[in-house]
Amino acid sequence: MKRIRVNIRVTELDTLVAVLIRLYKLYEELSNDVYLHGVMSEAEDFSVRMTTSIKSSKATSKLEALDNKRDEIIKLLFALIAGYQAIPVATKKAAAQKVAAIAAKYKGITSESYASESSLIESFLKDMGAEDMASAIAELEGVAEYVASLRSAQDEFNAASDELTAENTTRAESATSLKKPMLSLINDKFVPYLTAMAMSNSAVYGDFAAKAEAEITKMNDSIQRRARGLPAESAPTEQVQENPEPPIAEE
């Protein structure tokens, strides 16, 4: 059985180990092997911690995307307001100047930190929601819609920020920091041991070893194809047959 390639991605390693764990749990007779049970328990612990860290990384990316979303709305809204100021229609221009006076207080808002920008957006929305601003905003088509969109985008950002904060309080390590010890566990303990046991006791270990080897080989092939710039074939999908056929006894 070949070892996992060291240039495997963190997410790929997490997926592969999850598949190996699920495969292992399908073979009840293997639970009597104290050493293998210890290795798989350690792998499961690593997998849980790695998955948590990966989710946190995804939450960070989500927050960045939502920040870009609210920034874009602000830029479009301010550009619309500036455009109305150039219109030679008295009612429109007067309304635009009133709204522009509010927007001017928040110039450069999109370059602020996440927390500062959130605070400034809330202040801006409060100013725009004042009773004496209603008629001016109503006079400028599209402004009210952008303000509503900004409110929605800010609410989304707040929810994502709260989610990330909650995850960070329970995360003590990064997924990348877990990669090396996880690889060592599988390559230096799991693979050599299972290879040896499959050779000495094929009836008990052979089927599990064959399936584990197939998953590792599939992943290694995918990694190699990526390194060569070729389309990756299907890697482990975490779909494991729940009732594996028992190994055929040798005659």
Q: How would you write the pLDDT of the chain (251 residues) with one tens digit per residue?
A: 899 988 888 888 889 999 999 999 999 999 999 999 999 999 999 888 887 777 766 777 788 889 999 999 999 999 999 999 999 899 999 999 999 999 999 998 988 888 899 999 999 999 999 999 999 999 999 999 999 999 999 999 999 888 777 766 555 456 667 788 899 999 999 999 999 999 999 999 999 999 999 999 999 999 888 777 766 554 454 444 444 444 433 33
Say if CB 216 and CB 5 are below 8 A apart: no
Res 246: pLDDT: 42
Other C-beta atoms within 10 Å of 26: how many? 15
For residues 24 and 22, give the distance between their C-alpha atoms in angstroms, rounded to a whole number.
5
Element at 142 (helix H, strand E): none
User: Which residues neighbour 157 within 8 Å (Cβ) at sequence distance 6 or greater?
Assistant: 63, 66, 67, 69, 70, 114, 118
Say if CB 167 and CB 87 are below 8 A apart: no
Say if CB 247 and CB 202 are below 8 A apart: yes
Res 3: pLDDT: 93
Q: How far are the Cα atoms of 33, 81, 192, 216 from residue 199, in angstroms, in the given order?
A: 15, 76, 11, 18
Half-sphere exposure at residue 165, Cβ-oriented, CA atoms within 13 angstroms: 8
pTM: 0.51
Long-range contacts of 125-132 (CB under 8 A, 24+ apart): 125/150, 125/151, 125/154, 127/102, 128/99, 128/102
For residues 16 and 216, give the distance between their C-alpha atoms in angstroms, rounded to a whole number.
7
Domain ranges of the chain: 10-58+174-227, 60-170
DSSP letter string, 194-221: HHHHHHH-HHHHHHHHHHHHHHHHHHHH
